[in-house]
Amino acid sequence: MNFHQRVQRNYSQLSESDKYLISFLENNFEGISQISILKLSENANVSTSTIVRCMKKLGYKGFTDFKFRIASETLHQTDEELINFKNMDKQIQTAILKNKEEVINTISYLSSTIIEDALEAIKYSKKITIFSRGFSEFIAAEMNTKLQLLDKHCESHGDPNIIRLKAEHLTKDDLVIFISLNGETEELVQAAQICNSNSVKTILLTTNKDSSLYNLADINLLGYKSSKNFYPEYEVRSRLPLQVLGRIMLDAYVIRYYE
Structurally, how many domains does the chain consist of? 2
Quick one: pLDDT at residue 223?
94
pLDDT in tens, 68-114: 888 776 655 555 556 667 777 777 877 888 888 889 889 988 989 99
CA dist 229 and 95 (Å) reads 9
What range defines the domain where residue 61 resides? 3-74
Last residue of some domain: 74, 97, 130?
A: 74
Q: Are residues 126 and 179 in the same domain?
A: yes
Last residue of a domain, one of 28, 51, 74: 74
- Whether residue 67 is found in the same domain as residue 195: no
* Cβ proximity of 132 and 178 under 8 Å: yes
Give the CATH number for residue 192: 3.40.50.10490
Pairs from 85-91 (Cβ < 8 Å, separation ≥ 24): none
The answer to whether residues 146 and 243 belong to one domain is yes
Closest listed residue to residue 132, CA positions, set 71, 195, 176, 168: 176
Cβ-contact 180, 205 below 8 angstroms: yes
What's the average model confidence in pLDDT over 237-245? 91
82 occurs within a structural domain: no
pLDDT at 230: 65
* 184: CB partners within 8 A, 6+ apart: 208, 211, 212, 213
pTM of the model: 0.78
Alpha-carbon gap, residue 20 to 161, rounded angstroms: 35
Distance of alpha carbon 222 from alpha carbon 141, whole angstroms = 20
Q: Does the pLDDT value for residue 188 go beyond 90? A: yes
> pLDDT tens across 199-223, in order?
999 999 999 999 999 999 999 999 9
Domain assignment present for residue 90? The answer is no
Domain match, 139 and 53 both? no
